[in-house]
Every structure is written in C-alpha cells, then in structure tokens.
Amino acid sequence: MFNFTLANLAGIWRNGGMKLATTLIPDDPTGWWMSEKFDGVRAIWDGSRFITRNGHPIPVPAHMTEGMPDCRIDGELWAGPGSFDKLVSVIQSPGADWGDVLYMAFDQPSPKPFEERQADLAALDLPLWVNVARQTRCLGKQHLNAFERDVVARGGEGAVIVAPGSKYRPGRSDVMVKVKRLVADLDRSCCD
C-alpha cells in the first residue's frame, strides 16, 4: 500500500532530481518570469508515470496517464485554491474521485534555457486535465507585488519567479524563487 504521511516526506529533496524554489527575492525582479504558486502535490511525469520528489510512484487512476507524452514534465497535482487537504485525501484513498484534480505543468526538465523549455512545454499535445502554468514577464517590483496580491485575493498561495535564461537545476537555487509574503509558508508536502 502507498504510505502517504507528512512524516515520511522530510528530506525529500536531499537526493536531488527536481528543482526547488528559494525564498530570497531579488532586489530587482524585472525580466523574471512569474507564475502562480499552486498549493498542491509536486509531481514529475517521468514519461510513463507520476512520481514524487523522491521518485516514488503516485497512485493516479489509469485514465490520468492516457495521452501523456513520452517526456519528463515538472508540475503539481492540484485541485484548486484552498484544496490541499482535499487533494491529499483523494491521493490517499483508493477509488476516490479524481474529477477535480488537475496537473499544473510548469517546466520540462532539460538543459535548455527556461524560455525554450516553456516553448517545448507549450508545444506538447497534453490531455485536457493538464494545464500549462501561465508565465508572465515581470516589469518590476510593483508588478510582482500586484501579481502576488492578485493570486492571493483569488485564494492562491503566492507566486513563483524564475530567472530569464536559467537552466533547470535540481535542488534549491537562486534562479527560482517562492514569493509567499502574504500567506504563511508551511512548505508542506504530502506524499512519498
């Protein structure tokens, strides 16, 4: 059975694999790419299945793997704003209704610069339940502040910003930043 507790998630990123955001916001975020930070379960599509940050399979229904491409995608299983606990319950319960669960794809691991990875991601033929996270070019600190406020006002967690031209690097780096100044950052995980 899939052991799905918060306790067994500690240190998930120690072995590398996925990139992780830091919280150190650059003095001038102009030119960085902004997207919503989704409060879901981080998941990599490895070309044949969804896995956690530590490489363990996520027990999604078979229909959710149909039509997925034969390439790696980094993203988040998500059931909407404020629904993290509901999502965890769905993942933990065999036979649960996954109808509200989406996969929010936000990167495609490769050595290419961020913009090229985003173009590759947008060009994929993805199932209807997979959405590519919208990236917006940041025009400066006020723009970032307004973007974060808008996401939070809609019930979201905050924003993620990515440095232009940055390479996909496993682990924490200064090229991907979590912007969650308006809500508590529990940095919680739920599966592995």
Question: What are the pLDDT tens digits along the chain (192 aa)?
Answer: 333 333 333 333 333 466 666 667 889 999 999 999 999 999 999 999 999 988 899 999 999 999 999 999 999 999 999 999 999 999 999 999 999 999 999 999 999 999 999 999 999 999 999 999 999 999 999 999 999 999 999 999 999 999 999 999 888 888 999 998 876 444 444 454
Distance CA 184, CA 40 (A): 15
Report helix, strand or coil for 36. Answer: strand
Question: What tokens were used for 7?
Answer: 């306790």
Instruction: Yes or no: say if 126 and 94 are a contact pair by the CB < 8 Å rule.
Output: no
The pLDDT, as a whole number, for residue 20 is 62
**In 10 A of CB 134, how many CB atoms?**
11
The domain spans of the chain are 7-179
Domain 7-179 annotated CATH 3.40.47.10: no
Q: Where are the beta strands (DSSP E) in 67-138?
A: 73-78, 102-107, 130-132, 136-137
Question: What tokens were used for 130?
Answer: 């997979």
